[in-house]
Amino acid sequence: MFDAFLAGFLLVIEWPALGFLLLGVFIGIWLGAVPGLGGIIGLVLLLPFTFGMEPVPAFALLLGMFAVTSTSDTIASVMLGIPGTAASQATILDGFPLAQKGQAARAFGAAFTVSAFGGVFGALILAVSLPLILPIILSFNSPEIFMLGILGLSMVGSLSGASILKGLTVATLGLLLSTVGYAETISIPRFFLGTDYLIDKLPLIPVVLGLFAIPEIMELAIRNTSISKIGKNHSDGGGILDGVRDAFRHWWLTLRCAVIGTYIGMLPGLGASIVDWIAYGHAVQSAKDKSQFGKGDIRGVIAPEAANNATRGGSLVPMVAFGIPGSLGTAILLGALLIQGLKPGPEMLTTQLHITFSMVWSIVVANIVVAIILLFLSKQVAKVAFLPGHLIVPGVILFVFMGAWLGGASLGDWVACLIFGIIGFVMKRGGWPRPPLILAIILGSIMETSFLISINSYEGVAWLWERPIVLVIWGLIAITLFSAVRGLSKNIKKDENKEEPVTGEGAERSPMISLPFSILTLLLFSWAMWEATRGHNVGAEYVPEPWPLEVSQFPIVTIVTGFILVFFVIIKDWKACVTFVKQHESIGIALTRAADDALLQRAMMFFGYLLATIIVMPVIGQKLVLPIFIATYLVRWGSYNWRVALGYAAVGWVFLVGFYDRVLHLHWYPSWLDSWLPNILPSWFAYWLFF
């Protein structure tokens, strides 16, 4: 085995494998840093280039890119409060507040250091664990997978905001949204509002970008501030080396979270989605002082970053050993394995063991290289936190809209992005945490499938209290909720007499905004229950009967749970609203104050800009409308001169044409202008530059 381990290392550092590995690393840095791209897009783009390549160089290219996206996605999470990928959701809770304190470089220093350790540790543990993995993976069946989903949602719901009730309510809302479209078992569409766009599930990328990116970017626009709320010369202890020292000071936390990431990552389906939350929850529960979590605690960056990088090694285990892809990324890697004429299973652990170890070494080398590169670059990247917000907004909006377009190349993607941007703004102002919504949408279909298989296979729900691992997970859920309640109550007592700026997810508490959202959520649950229990369509024929049990069971359980939770939230919000109105002597004054505090008028103006962009896009196309938005925003909102605006717009246009068109070969929206103008242009004119 040691001979194969050494042979795998020598294969990776040989030319051309090393060159392809470095190329993959540089591509992965870019794809991970740009919101809406990520490792999946990279694998799809690079897979065709591996045809005809030898196995080791091919996987060096693919894994070099794929392994580092979970490191470079930290850039968007820290700087913009946008999860660069699904694996970096927990990082925003403390990473973005650190950037707002002017300590982005510190967050990067810690994140990149522990990411390198986590990636290397996960890969090496993969090498050691290969002979021992079979009983671990086989012990997790559908009941355990379902309960792991519940554990993940409990952690994110209770740890990502200032209200556990709101967090858990949002989690149930996300589970309900995950059931939109065709059911998992029978081809009956659910909650699709009669539109083809929703019939094949709610697209994740536009939802994520709308929910997180638009509210945070809008904050820069309407408040006319930089990302950092503190001047460049007033941020103490925020350097890169401070972050590196933090990583070494919290080495025991880093090690524990890397172990969590490796072994949770081995679980097919759920591992990569929940591991950062499990690690974050572990960091909170094991800390003596929990008061700064969610406000810029460096441990809240270290824990998820160490864990999510370690999953890259762990997630390869079921793919290599059993041919079971645990995620879309490993499914593509499985395709690459088959393209190379390799079969997952005993061969990869015996005669082809040197190839398997070459994959391990590719992940190890890639993580070390990317950490070194990003540590050198992070000081320059961190300076973005001190730039005027108006210079950041239009560029990020371009990447947000194009990232949303990657979801399905449909006008509905832009509309969904804007709608969830409005929802995200309301949730942020009302103190509703947003991460539980995204995680629930990701886990929903997996949990529903596991739930239905468990009920059918074990003839009821006795598995909820009869299986040992399920009971252990129940205990972890109880500990999570108890610790969260205890920690929140202590923090509330500590913060009662403090006047600090509002930071952190779900920290803003405006009852006049939260109550309407609570009521709308209750109405949504009520409508969903009516929809699930009335008649339905089968093809063109209306059937006056409820959905079949296997179609309605999971949504109804979710609806009932959500209904109970939101009912208590409404009671709490109502009491807070009554107190708020009494403080301002009349409901009119209270509403005016709440609107002013939320900067509602300027927020509506910003949404108006985005809506106008979406309305004009079908007329002139994306290659023209986005540069026009950039120029218009900078002149009318940012008060910059036309020279700066046109220069910025030109750079945006070059990105659209050079990257999204020439490199990604996107399918562009067929605009009205595109339908006739190219026909009257001279044949030598390169109309693809604009249409």
Domains contained in the chain, number:
2
Identify the domain boundary among 440, 457, 490.
Answer: 490
Kindly state whether residue 605 falls inside one of the protein's structural domains: no
536-538 and 541-543 strand pairing = antiparallel
Banded pLDDT at 499 (limits 50, 70, 90):
very low
Single residue among 429, 456, 490 that ends a domain in this structure: 490
pLDDT above 80: residue 45: no
Which residue type does 267 have?
L
Q: Which residue has the tokens 């510190």?
A: 106
**pLDDT tens per residue, range 68-98:** 887 777 888 888 777 766 667 778 888 888 8
Q: Is residue 405 part of a domain?
A: yes
Domain co-membership, 311 together with 168: yes
Whether pLDDT at 570 is above 60 = yes
Residue given tokens 């900067």 in the structure block: 599
CA distances from 270 to 70, 73, 516, 689 (A): 16, 20, 34, 42
**Average pLDDT of the chain, as a whole number:** 81
What's the average model confidence in pLDDT over 216-233? 76
SS3 537: strand
**Nearest 5 degrees, angle CA 380-CA 382-CA 387?**
95
Q: Is residue 486 domain-shared with residue 624, that is, in the same domain? A: no
CA dist 122 and 279 (Å) reads: 14
**Encoding tokens for residue 689?**
């530059």
Helices 17-33/39-46 angle, 10° precision: 140
**Domain boundary residue, one of 490, 506, 541:** 490
For 676-686, write each residue's pLDDT tens digit.
887 887 877 77
Highest mean pLDDT: which range of 205-219, 372-386, 499-513? 205-219
Of 185-189, 411-415, 565-569, least confident by mean pLDDT is 185-189
d(CA 68, CA 379): 19
Rounded to whole angstroms, what are the CA distances from 171 to 154, 398, 418? Answer: 8, 29, 21
Q: What angle is formed at CA 513 by the lines to CA 507 and CA 518, rounded to 5 degrees?
A: 95
Please indicate whether residue 578 or residue 543 has the higher confidence score (pLDDT): 578
Alpha carbons 464 and 454: distance in angstroms, whole number: 9
CB 27, CB 46: distance < 8 Å: yes
Stated as kind and residue range, the H or E segment containing 189 is strand 189-190
In a domain, 463, yes or no: yes
pLDDT at 496: 45
What one-letter code names the amino acid at 627?
Answer: P
Strands 189-190 and 181-182: antiparallel
Inside any domain, residue 521: no
In a domain, 165, yes or no: yes
**Domain-located, residue 475:** yes
Per-residue pLDDT at 574: 93
* Amino acid letter, 506: G
Enter the tokens of residue 199: 């019939």
Q: Is residue 584 part of a domain?
A: no
Asked whether 330 and 63 are in contact (CB, 8 A), the reply is: no
pLDDT at 234 over 60: no
Residues 471 and 330 grouped into a single domain: yes
Domain identity same for 622 and 486:
no
**Residue 525 bridge partners (DSSP):** none
Provide the percentage of residues in the chain whose pLDDT is more than 70.
86
In terms of pLDDT, which residue wins out, 452 or 41? 452
CA distance 677 to 651: 24
Indicate whether 127 pLDDT > 70. Answer: no
- pLDDT bin (cut points 50, 70, 90) of residue 207 is confident
Reference 87, options 439, 480, 603; nearest CA is: 439
- Of the candidate ranges 321-330, 387-396, 407-416, the one whose mean pLDDT is the lowest: 321-330
> Is there a single domain that holds both residue 625 and residue 480?
no
What are the b/e assignments for 421-458, b being 16+ CB within 10 Å? bbbbbbbbbbbbbbbbbbbbbbbbbbbbbbbbbbbeeb
The three-state secondary structure class of 456 is: helix
- Domain housing 116: 2-227+240-490
Per-residue pLDDT tens digits for 307-362: 877 777 667 777 776 666 666 677 777 777 777 777 776 666 667 777 777 887 88
Q: What is the pTM of this model?
A: 0.85
Residue 288 has pLDDT above 90, yes or no: no
Predicted confidence (pLDDT) at residue 556 exceeds the cutoff of 80: yes
Q: Is residue 553 part of a domain?
A: no
> How distant, in Å, are the alpha carbons of 73, 461, 464, 503 from that of 458?
41, 7, 10, 46
